[in-house]
Amino acid sequence: MKFVGSRKLTWGICSLGILLALIGVFFLPQIIPMHFANGIPDGFGNKIEIFLFPILLLIITILTGKEKIKYILTHSKIFLTDTQYNLMTDGILGFVLIAEIYVIYASFV
């Protein structure tokens, strides 16, 4: 539980997203699906747009590590412990990472 309570998992998810984009850009086709409606791609973009996901992951990771933002989010209406705060942040990052993986997967199917 100490790993989850620290920011190591948060930076691990962010690093994994960056690594997936860096490796994936060499293997992705020129045009990749970027928007889906009912699981069917209906919006396409250039393969360089895969870097939008790591940028979002990095922004979320950096901003949620700031003490002022952390204080506001943990002391709003419901008090959150550090572990709960990190799990909430990791859940959001995990959702973005799953979206990135889905876009990479859908590019090859």
Please report, for the chain, the start and end positions of each structural domain, with discontinuous segments joined by +.
2-108
- In this predicted structure, what is the pLDDT of residue 51? 96
> What DSSP element (H or E) covers 17?
helix 8-27
Phi/psi of residue 45, nearest 5 degrees: -150, 175
Q: Which two tokens stand for residue 26?
A: 């060499």
In degrees, to the nearest 5, what angle opens at C-alpha 108 toward C-alphas 40 and 12? 95
Q: What is the mean pLDDT of residues 82-89?
A: 86
- Rounded CA separation 27/37 (Å): 25
Q: Which two tokens stand for residue 16?
A: 């994994």
Backbone angles phi, psi at 35, to 5 degrees: -135, 140
Arithmetic mean of pLDDT, 54-78: 85
pLDDT at 5 (0 to 100)? 63
Max Cα-Cα span within the chain? 47
